[in-house]
Amino acid sequence: MLRVHFTDADLARVRVARGPDPLWETVLGLHKLAERENAPLAFTRWRLRALTEISDRRLTAMARLMTTLAPPEVEYFPDFLTPPEAAEGMSEGLTALRSTPKRRLRSELASLDGIRPRPSAAAGWMRELAVGDRQRLDEVADAFRGLYEAVIGPDWTGVAMGVESDRAVRARALMEGGVHGLLSSLRPAAQWQPPVLHVRYPVDRDLYLGGRGLYLVPSWFCWRMPVAMADPELPPVLVYPVEHDIEATLTGGTGGTDRAAALATVLGPTRSRALAVLRDAATTGELAGRLAVSAAAASKHAKALREAGLIATRREGGSVLHTVTPLGSALLAGELPSGTR
């Protein structure tokens, strides 16, 4: 159990990431890829494609390097692999990674050694990385970029859709219940019992925020338990799992419906208006009220929009909450292929 202790100042400094973090998603995605037994169903289709991609010799070497630094079978990996600058993009994150101070490299890699001794084949390489060797840092950055582009990037739209749907839930919780409502909405991964957030965690630990606030990062490849930075002196971060629609995952994300055909059913005045009003997340009942139609009609419109990939839907308590996806936002912005207007 991780117990995160808040002060009043911390409650005023809770933030939710604007989108998925490419470095966190790459590390956690590799962990999911390494699960040979009892792999989550939510990642079945992704794993099949990713395993094919990673069979390339160059990518296999990159994956071996990364899993040496961030072994999936232990509860720790060095914090320098996931710098906060990655929230601005992959390039910014890798620039920060390359600039990690030598003292921090030595300390964090020593902590990893204390949990999992260095593989003999990698001992020399790890020693050079620990003293800040520029070539070794470049190799880590190159591995991150290569694995992201081959394994994570092709599914980035789906990752972004899942995270944006989660953000809509958190925004709604914040509007209706303030920060207490936001923290309470993190169930079942965490339980908010003011002033302490009790988080499901593989080790017993206390984290005192001390006025620094908490940065919440919704993650597609985080699964079951949230992840926090290991060093309590670093800016506090909590990466937590978003909800997955397993049926949609197994059928390719559209419930088995051809996307082009589904998109054709969307074009029309009422559904276009439905998409527009869902810029602000809404339940089916609220959508019906905004469109002045019955709940059954609103549900039908939402289903068509969802099957076309224009909105994402998730259950929140006794209701379902709909929110526009990046594809839906592009459609609303007028970025349509020719012949669709």
pLDDT of residue 334: 56
Residue 34 amino acid letter: A
Contacts of 197 (CB under 8 A, 6+ apart): 3, 4, 6, 183, 186, 190, 191, 214
- CA-to-CA distance for 43 and 169, rounded, in angstroms? 22
- CA-to-CA distance for 275 and 329, rounded, in angstroms? 9
Domain boundaries, the chain: 2-18+157-241, 22-155, 254-332
For residue 196, give the 3-state DSSP assignment.
strand
Instruction: Name the class of domain 254-332.
Output: mainly alpha
For residue 221, give the 3-state DSSP assignment.
coil
DSSP-assigned beta bridge partners for residue 311: 324
Element housing 65 (H / E): helix 57-69
- CA-to-CA distance for 71 and 124, rounded, in angstroms? 18
Q: Do 2 and 228 meet the contact criterion of CB atoms below 8 Å apart?
A: yes
Dmax (CA) for the chain in angstroms is: 68
Residue 258 amino acid letter: D
Per-residue pLDDT of the chain (341 residues; tens, 9 = 90+): 999 999 999 999 999 998 899 999 999 999 988 887 676 777 888 888 888 888 888 888 899 899 889 988 878 899 999 999 998 888 999 999 999 999 999 999 999 888 777 677 778 888 999 999 999 999 999 999 999 999 998 888 788 888 888 988 899 899 999 999 999 999 999 999 999 999 999 889 999 999 999 999 999 999 889 999 999 999 999 999 998 865 455 444 444 444 445 555 666 778 888 888 888 888 888 888 888 788 888 889 988 888 888 888 888 777 888 988 878 877 776 554 443 33
Closest CA to 162 of 17, 332, 331: 17
Separate counts of helices (H) and strands (E) for the chain: 15, 11
pLDDT of residue 101: 95
Contacts of 46 (CB under 8 A, 6+ apart): 155, 249
pTM confidence score: 0.76
- CA-to-CA distance for 168 and 279, rounded, in angstroms? 10
For residue 251, give the 3-state DSSP assignment.
coil
CB atoms under 10 Å from CB of 81, counted, come to: 20
Contacts of 84 (CB under 8 A, 6+ apart): 96, 215, 235, 237
Q: Which two tokens stand for residue 150?
A: 């081959």
Q: Do 299 and 283 meet the contact criterion of CB atoms below 8 Å apart?
A: no
Q: Which two tokens stand for residue 91?
A: 């390039």
